[in-house]
Structures are given as C-alpha cells and as structure tokens.
Amino acid sequence: MSQVKWSPSASRDLDGIHEYISRDSLKYAQLTVRRIIEMVDELPIFPRAGRIVPEIQNRNIRERIYKSYRIVYRINIDAIEVLNIFHTSMDIFSRIESIRKQSQ
C-alpha cells in the first residue's frame, strides 16, 4: 500500500476551503474538510478509483469528486500525491497548468 503525500498547494487549498465555508458554518466547514480527508485516505486502497482528469489525459493524474470539489492526485510508484483541491466553479485552466507543472 502506498502512502499519501500532500503537496503544499493541496494543503493550502484545504485550508482555504475550510476558511471559506466557515464564514457561514463552522460545522459544515469541518464536515467538508473531514470528508475530503476521508476520500484521500481511501486512495492507497483504491488508487485508480478516481477518473483520469479529462483536461490532462494522463493515466496517473486522477481525481475524485466530493460535492463541488475536485481532488486531483498523482499515482507514483511509492506514493500517491494530492496535487490540488478546488471548487468546480474555479478557473480550471489556471489550475490545470499548475497540475501539469507538478506532474513533470
């Protein structure tokens, strides 16, 4: 089983999600973050459960969806790296460029 590594960008994303949702509801912010972390924790067991990111088309760059959040990760030989977590309403193309740079 592979271990999970969080990129600095993904960690900042998760903090930002919590901060944004907590403006309206601390309870739902905690619930959302907890569920995202649970989904990430499942990745070593089923790393290919996520779909290939359509905008990238690399079989090792995948995503899982939680509500309106895309959890983008890379499957490596020794680890699974969470690259970014972002809301689907965000500018996908600026995020995709960031993901491509991280995956090189």
Q: Where are the domains of the chain?
A: 3-102
Cα–Cα distance, 91 to 42 (Å, whole number): 27
Residues (pLDDT < 50) of the chain are none
* pLDDT of amino acid 56: 87
* pLDDT of amino acid 1: 56
* pLDDT of amino acid 104: 56
* pLDDT of amino acid 88: 87
DSSP code per residue over the chain: --EEEE-HHHHHHHHHHHHHHHTT-HHHHHHHHHHHHHHHHTTTTSGGGSEE-TTT--TTEEEEEETTEEEEEEE-SSEEEEEEEEETTS-HHHHHHHHHHHT-
* pLDDT of amino acid 60: 94
* pLDDT of amino acid 90: 81
* CATH number 3.30.2310.20 given to 3-102: yes
